[in-house]
Amino acid sequence: MNLVIDIGNTYIKIGVFNESQIVYKDVIEQVDFKETISTLKRNYPLITDAIISSVSNVREELTEHINVFFKTLVLDHLIEMPFENLYRTPKTLGLDRLALVAAAVDQFPGKNVLIIDAGTCITYDFKNNKEQYFGGSISPGIKLRYTSLHTFTAKLPLLELKEPRSVIGDSTEEAIHSGVIHGVLNEIKGLIEEYCNIYPDLTVILTGGDAHFLSKRLKNGIFATSNFLLEGLNYILAFNNSR
């Protein structure tokens, strides 16, 4: 069994896999990390290997704590990937984006795939049917857009995510909700259309914290999944252990 750990901007996502099947997942705060790992070791004694991915530098004490229990792979840009990376500046590429592409290679081999990860930022990543990764784009996520409107203006309030009642906001709050949500939705629809003009057989994956909210407002034909990043990390671990 494998333990998969993704240290994000705000929370830590954890998954336990029996081969390719996820049998446990949780989202925790960093202060709960050591206790959670000890509990998982007791509850899943068959775990032998672990992989850690982080959008920032992994605290050494966290890595050392994992190494006490499991053979651990710390994801970086030197680790071999199950695809050809054609990104021009690979050292600047987020490790979470590598994991998402790995999941696409594993689950949609031989297909042109666009992965949309709607979290703090919205990232778009593309791999073709030859398992070549080209890159994509990055834009502010929903929460970041709300925060930016409040932070960089004098009077606009800080709002929480809410479904706009209409595209025409009849109050400042409704105008913000309309601008943020319709802005994100039309951005996603527009980029999908741009990719489809080049790759008509495109497969689109939507994942990340806001995927559930957005998927209900986008057309059918988009695969929405909450575990794609963890599944990609598990595949990277399995891929490296098999070599």
- Positions annotated as catalytic residues are 96
Tokens in use for 163? 């479904």
Three-state secondary-structure class, residue 35: helix
Minimal CA–CA distance to 115: which of 104, 107, 106, 105?
104
Annotated binding site for substrate: 87, 94-97, 172
E strand residue ranges, the chain? 2-7, 12-18, 21-28, 49-54, 71-74, 84-85, 113-118, 121-127, 132-140, 203-207, 222-224
Annotated binding site for K(+): 117
Alpha helices, H only, 108-210: 142-151, 172-198
Annotated binding site: 6-13, 87, 94-97, 117, 120, 172
Which run of H or of E encompasses 230?
Answer: helix 228-241
Annotated binding site for ATP: 6-13, 120
Sort 74 into a burial class: Cβ within 10 Å, 0-12 / 13-18 / 19+.
middle
Tokens in use for 188? 């996603």
